[in-house]
Amino acid sequence: MNTPFIFIFIFFFILFLSYTEATKCRSKGLNIKSPFTLSPHHNNDPNFNLYCQNTNTTMIHFPFYGNLVVKSISYNTRKLDLIDPKSCVHEVFLNLNLSLTPFRYYYVVKNYTYLNCSVPINGNSIPCLSGYGHHVYTVKPSVNVPDSCRAIKTVEIPFGYSSYLSDNSFGLGLTWELPKRDDEDGDDGFEEERTWVHLTTKKVPMIAGLVVLAAVAMVMKMKILYTKKMLVSNEDMENQFSEDLLAQQHKIPQALG
């Protein structure tokens, strides 16, 4: 196979891979783009890696907690909306540790204390956390803990439990920050275009561009060599023609004599 065609084949193959790289879990799924990446399966990356569950559900994994469903992503407002697959959003609030991730709650948070009570108290208990003989509530930290209750944990969450807000996605909105380079100034840490995550997404197109440039260079080089070969061939033909013409001229006088 001709060398230029090898480079052209490599270029189109890499270009094909760049366009067929998974960016959705299904045809009508979420568009996944920087800073997020999409993997076919779950891995232990706690940052911006998403993966597909059962090929059609976009998921994200949080260390020391587990998996949540990605409902929507707004790249303009940097908002990630999640759904608890176990339909217990307050279990997420109670156990999710965002300090180990680049995420934080999108909404304003306040301190709430989770109480576990052996008998019902005033207020609505959290159904998905309560059961026979124990009733779980969210209260403000300033509330005196009754003798029949014990404090489980005080955490910063968007809101306490309310039967009007008992939805498995309400409040699970997160925003994110991107890592800032050491040589960057400023305190916002939102230099998306210059982060390693963004550069990673450009790697395949960059390689494809280098390959096509190499292929073009090889084609031009082959064209120049072919032109030189044709010029040499034409020159040889002209020299041969001149020699044959001279030979014929020498033969003519001999024939006349």
The CA-atom distances, in angstroms, between 47 and each of 99, 100, 144, 176 are 11, 9, 38, 10
Half-sphere exposure of 20 (CA within 13 A, CB side): 6
Residue 55 corresponds to which amino acid?
Answer: T
Span 28-55, mean pLDDT?
79
Span 107-116, mean pLDDT?
96
Span 97-118, mean pLDDT?
94
Confidence of residue 25 (pLDDT cuts 50, 70, 90): confident
Q: Is the pLDDT of residue 104 over 60?
A: yes
Q: Is the pLDDT of residue 190 over 50?
A: no
- Name the more confident of 40 and 116: 116
Q: What percent of the chain has pLDDT over 90?
A: 39
Domain ranges for the chain: 18-106+167-178, 110-157
Distance CA 246, CA 41 (A): 80
pLDDT at 243: 66
Spell out the residues 6+ positions from residue 257 whose beta carbon is closer than 8 angstroms to its own: none
Confidence of residue 42 (pLDDT cuts 50, 70, 90): low
Q: Token pair for residue 7?
A: 């480079």
CB 82 within 8 Å of CB 174: yes
Report the residue count for the chain: 257
pLDDT at 195: 38
44-93, pLDDT tens digit by residue? 565 889 998 877 889 999 988 899 999 999 999 999 999 999 999 999 99
- Name the more confident of 99 and 246: 99
201-222, pLDDT tens digit by residue? 445 455 556 555 666 667 676 7
- Name the more confident of 157 and 225: 157
Half-sphere exposure of 116 (CA within 13 A, CB side): 12
pLDDT at 178: 76
Q: Is the pLDDT of residue 175 over 70?
A: yes
Average pLDDT over the chain, rounded to an integer:
76
pLDDT at 162: 87
